[in-house]
Amino acid sequence: MADIFVSYSRADKARVAPLVAAFEAQGWSVWWDPEITPGDEFDKLIGAELEAARAVVVVWTRASVDSRWVKGEARDAADREILVPVRFENARLPIDVRSIHTTEMDGWGGSRDSAPFQALCGALESKLRRSEPKVATAPKDERTAVSICVLPFSNMSGDPEQEYFSDGITEDIITDLGKVSALSVVSRNTAFSFKGSSSDMSRIARQTKASYILFGSVRKAGARVRITAQLVATANDAQIWGERYDRDLNDIFALQDEISKAIVAALRLTLLPEEKKALEQRSTSSSEAYKLYLMARQFWLMDNERNNEIVVRICRRVVEIDPKYAQAWATLALAQWNMFWLSDSGDDGESAAQTALKLDPRLADAHAAMAAALRAKGLYEKGIEACREALRLEPGSYVANRIAGLNYMGLRRYQEAVKHFEVAAAAMESDFTAFSFVSQCYRALGDPARQQAAARSTLDRIEKLVATDPGHSRAIGIGACMLSDLNEGERAKEWVIRARLVDPENINLHYNLACAMAALKEVDMALDTLAEIADNLSPGMVSWLESDNDFDLIREEPRFISIVTQVKARLAKGRRPS
């Protein structure tokens, strides 16, 4: 049976033939009976083909509008909601189908690229997708990966600040389903790029190639939470499963287990024993600790130095509530590493990372946090070893890939570094830090085309961010570097001035500004900026300064050598940053 049944008047055979050929060139099968002799067998064949067709194209012309056969076939197709009419000669349509959108084809010259034909194809694709047999079950599990995309659950709490909670629920479901070997789960970054677009299922299906899409909403009010979820087959928009849950917030973990297992059951998959056990494992049994952790993680992912202290404060409260919450210890370690790097704290996060590893040796973020602490000491080789373990456990980890790239960069192993930075940039749509290092690595590798492309992509992300958060000092500082890479010197200088006013005490920001000035060959400005922060540079930053290729153009300058020498002498005497 064919995909498309073409209904037309025999007097229009010459007009219809090019249309059929164009459909077939699109890859669709077409039935249009040009050679069959009318009779009883002909009527039976038409009836069978019409009933089996997934879409019916009725070609309205002055001849066909008078054909009782064409009008009958059109009514049948309209009743089944698979009618796609086209019109030539401005023919007057039968009254009972005038309300159905009809594609005007007068002037069509047979081109598949023409606007009328493309519009017709769009209408056909919609009918063909929706007219597949609706199924209530998915194929049986044969250990072949079934692809699924989990869209960000909508925050229905009426409070935009609760977005972190609905996003956290989504991410946990993605993580849970990723533990099922028979499922291929679309990455978090790709899924979140469709945030707010759940109505455009066809586009999401095309871009992700997912067989199924899960979407829903979260409403948190006080101690209660309501979660709705729907699982849809992308081939035909059929709902495979759907449910609404009204629970106490204390039941959030059991609820997540229930949702994940319901999806697995709806897809007729079989959980292996170790997968069932993995789905039931949670980092904490405290809903209060979990809620606070999601908030801390949201602050950390904003990648603004100003948030480090907030993350540390929240995570300390989380581990007070549940001292065995390994993920919270790992995030605490990462925030402490950031503060140590900025000379805002004497704690490089190693102790918290060790606690996380002791609690959960299989937690990728715990190994990544240890790698960050090692990087802060300039111990890049050991940092790489820790990252290898993190990436063995979670190859696509944003955190582990970002920190692996930093450790490789510290050793000037740019080819290896750029691979990890590219994975990190792809894993987190809001990332701009890892992406900026992609540009820097390609500059070191002597690839200006890729350097410029990465710089432009990074700047695009930064401009979107600072449009909503004008005081994001880290983004502004790195934005100045990207403008330098793009040879937009005057604009880069404007961003430097802006950055100094926004966050004058931020050591890392001023470091990045020095990088931008060095790239613009503004040697004196770069050296002046470094001199201003020299007394506040941490050991890790000094180690980075010695290997950072951003400063290769001024590395032999006497003032640069003097700054590095003086800082190392200070650190050798055991004097911490002032």
Query: Treating both helix axes as pointing N-terminal to C-terminal, what angle do 308-321 and 326-341 enclose, rounded to 10 degrees?
Result: 150
Local structure of 200: helix, strand or coil: coil
**3-state secondary structure at position 28:** coil
Round the CA-based radius of gyration of the chain to a whole number and report it: 30
Tell me the β-bridge partners of 154. 217
pLDDT score of 378: 87
3-state secondary structure of 244: strand
- Phi then psi for residue 554, to 5 deg, are -120, 10
Structure tokens at 578: 């002032």
Residue 276 tokens, joined? 């069932």
Sign of CA pseudo-dihedral 551, 552, 553, 558: positive
Looking at residue 256, its pLDDT comes to: 83
Mean pLDDT for the chain overall: 84
**208 in Cβ contact with 190 (< 8 Å):** yes
Q: Using the 8-state DSSP alphabet, how is residue 549 labeled?
A: G
One digit per residue, the tens of pLDDT, for the chain of length 578 reads 678 999 998 888 888 888 888 887 777 888 887 545 444 455 666 777 888 888 899 999 999 998 888 998 888 888 888 899 999 988 888 887 777 888 888 877 777 777 788 778 878 887 777 655 443 344 444 445 688 999 989 888 777 767 888 888 888 888 888 888 888 888 877 788 787 765 567 778 888 888 899 998 998 877 888 899 999 988 888 888 988 888 888 888 888 888 888 888 888 887 777 777 777 777 788 888 988 998 998 888 888 888 899 999 999 999 999 999 999 999 999 999 988 887 666 788 999 999 999 999 989 999 999 999 999 888 999 999 999 999 988 888 889 999 999 999 999 999 999 999 988 888 777 889 999 999 989 988 998 888 888 899 899 999 989 888 888 888 988 998 899 888 888 888 888 888 888 888 778 788 888 888 888 888 888 888 888 888 888 777 787 788 788 888 888 889 988 988 888 888 777 655 55
pLDDT, tens digit, 9 for 90 and up, residues 4-47:
999 998 888 888 888 888 887 777 888 887 545 444 455 666 77
The span from the CA of 84 to the CA of 77, in Å, is 8
Pairing type for strands 55-60 and 83-87 reads parallel
Strands (E) located in 69-171? 83-87, 103-104, 146-150, 154-155
Q: What is the per-residue pLDDT for 575?
A: 57
Q: Which positions ≥6 away from 362 have C-beta within 8 Å?
A: 393
Please give the pLDDT value at position 401. 93
Of 515, 77, 537, residue with least CA distance to 344: 537
Distance CA 517, CA 362 (A): 42
Q: What is the pLDDT of residue 138?
A: 45
288: exposed, middle or buried (Cβ count in 10 Å: 0-12, 13-18, 19+): middle
DSSP string, 34-87: SSPPPSHHHHHHHHHHHHH-SEEEEEE-TTGGG-HHHHHHHHHHHHTT-EEEEE
User: What domains can you pick out in the chain, each with its CATH number?
Assistant: 4-130 (3.40.50.10140), 146-282 (3.40.50.10070), 283-431 (1.25.40.10)
